[in-house]
Amino acid sequence: MRLRMAARLVRGLVIAISATSLAVAAQAQDKKIKIGVVFDLTGPLAGGGSELGYIGAKIILDHFAKTGVEGYKIEAVYADAQSKPDIAINESVRLLEQEKVDMVLGFFSSAQCVPVAARVEQLKKFMWMTTCISSAVFNEKGYKYVFRPQASGDQFGMMTMDFIAQNAKAKFDKEPKDLRVAIIHEDGAYGVDVSKGNEAGAKKAGFNVVMKEGYSATAPDLSALVTKLKRAKPDVIFHTGYNPDITLLLRQAREQGLKFGALMGHGAGYGVYEKLKEGMGADATYIFNADPISIWLANQKTMDPKLPPVIKMVGEEFDKIRPGVAIRSAHVGIGASNTYVFMADVLPRAIKKYGGVDPEALRKAALDTDIPEGGTMLGFGVKFYGEGSPMAGQNERSFPVVIQYIDDKSSVVWPKSQAQREAVLPLPKGTTYSNQ
């Protein structure tokens, strides 16, 4: 009898212990971070590069969803900003307040980033921007919960000007003061910001700025702009645009006989070579573009050794989604790399060191980020300007590079430390836009 009671007691204890451990396991399993991901999947910006950024981010999120991070499950909730700032704000707020996501990630357009960042900060939630570049997002705002590993727009503008400044004498046989430059840009937050960088760079280099003008990316006609460019006779055109305004401008430039020595693009539409090629044919050759380096062009020898396999995985996954693409757009790598930094560096630290995934833990973990150059797939390091800095939340170690499209290949031509080939400058004689 006693023996039976003892057996029952032991059985009960075993069941109780099992139940407790099961409950603990279930609780561990329940630990998850919900990430709201916002990109433009419809509307003009989707084809202008946003969807490619989304694909890059999704590949990384899917990768981590399989393994989890420090015992946390990863659940991504996707939303379409429809290429409209108001939708981007509404969707971000919906994700945070109704879907109860722990943070929002993504964002392609600077016109969306600026108001969304303000709203998310107001809600004291965490925001991780992968793609948009406008400096206006951070400038003097003093945000605490908004972070961006991506380079800022003025850096793009300064980089292309620096490239031309260093090549003015050798390639154009002109002193900087004699070099005629035109700065044209779409008139949203993105274009305006890059053009400010262009202007500052031109002033620093001492260029003769013969024209500076913004235009609406949805304008049905840019012929007056082209006529003014013809009148201004620039040696180099610095252009910031989305697509299809880039194609429209260059088509009308060809039709109206505009000639110049070089065309410097600044990301967005210029980062999608397939579309440039489709719209302009052989005229897409020799165009320059400033962007973070494509992860497939980055120097893997100087990179953290754990990153090349990730780059390979992103490439393979992208090829499954978009087979037969001649040049994988830098936008895919930007989305992937900047998402990877969060998932592989910031998130584990937030969980381990700061005990969870609440905005405060994520913020502290982001501020602790200290990745040296070569520590990301894009080549640059990551350290965020801290509180008190006018650019608090912006990565101080990021930089874009200048690439040139030649014979269906893109090669880094600037800065010299990253250059893979000599730039073809000015446009060779016989090409459509050449002023030689």
Partner 1 sequence: MQAFLDVFDIYLLEAVINGILLGGVLALLALGLNLIFGVIDVTWICYAELVMIGMYAMYFMVQYYGVSYFVAAPFTILLVAILGAALHYLVIAPLLTAPPINQLLATGGVLFVLQSFATVAFGIDFRNLGIRLPVLALGDMNFSYARLLSFLAALVGMVAVYLFMTRTFTGTAIRAISQDRQIMALMGVDTKRIYLITSALGGALAGLAACLLVLQYDVHPFVGLSFGPITFLICVLGGLGNFIGGFIAAFVFAEIISLGGLFSDLEWGYVLAFAFFIVMMFIRPAGLLARRR
**By the criterion CB under 8 A, which residues form the site for partner 1?**
41-44, 46-48, 51, 83, 187, 213-216, 218-225, 227-228, 230-231, 243-244, 247-248, 251-252, 254-257, 275, 278-279, 281
Minimum separation from the CB atom of position 346 to partner 1 (A): 31
In the complex with partner 1, the residue whose CB is nearer, 256 or 300, is: 256
For the CB of residue 258, give the shortest distance to partner 1 in the complex, in Å: 9
- CB within 8 A of 413, min separation 6: which ones? 163, 288, 402, 403, 404, 419, 420, 421, 422, 423
Closer to partner 1 by CB, 305 or 324: give it: 324
How is 108-151 classified by DSSP, letter by letter?
--HHHHHHHHHHHHHTT-EEEESS---GGGTTTT--SSEEB-SP
How many beta carbons lie within 10 A of that of residue 130, not counting itself?
28
Closest Cα to residue 343, out of 53, 58, 31? 58
Q: Which of 294, 219, 271, 278 is nearest to 249 (CA)?
A: 219
CA 24 to centroid of chain Cα atoms: 40
212 neighbors 183 (Cβ within 8 angstroms): yes
247 or 431: whose CB is closer to partner 1? 247
Least Å distance, CB 78 to partner 1, is 15
Do 400 and 267 meet the contact criterion of CB atoms below 8 Å apart? yes
Letter for the amino acid at 228?
Answer: K
Instruction: Give the Cα separation of 261 and 210 in Å (integer).
Output: 14
- Mapped onto helix, strand or coil, the DSSP state of residue 263 is strand
Cα distance between residue 196 and residue 234, in whole Å: 18
Which residue, 249, 281, 282, is CA-closest to 265? 249
Q: In the complex with partner 1, which residue's Cβ is closer, 4 or 231?
A: 231
Return d(Cα 409, Cα 44) in angstroms, integer: 26
Nearer to partner 1, 248 or 377 (CB): 248
- Close Cβ partners of 185 (under 8 Å, ≥ 6 residues apart): 191, 192, 194, 195, 198, 213, 214, 215, 239, 240, 241
Beta carbon nearer to partner 1, 159 or 280: 280
Contact 74, 68 (CB under 8 A): yes
**What is the smallest separation between the CB atom of 13 and partner 1, expressed in angstroms?**
59
Residue number, 121 or 199, with CB nearest to partner 1: 199
Q: How far is CA 34 from the centre of its chain?
A: 22
Nearer to partner 1, 32 or 251 (CB): 251
Shortest Å distance, C-beta 179 to partner 1: 22
In whole angstroms, the minimum distance from the beta carbon of 339 to partner 1 comes to 21
User: Which one, 411 or 431, has the nearer CB to partner 1?
Assistant: 431
* DSSP string over 216-261: -TT-S--HHHHHHHHHH--SEEEEE--TTHHHHHHHHHHHTT--BS
Q: Quick check: 380 and 150 in contact, CB under 8 A?
A: no
Nearer to partner 1, 54 or 72 (CB): 54
Compute the distance between CA of residue 259 and CA of residue 233 in angstroms, rounded to an integer: 8
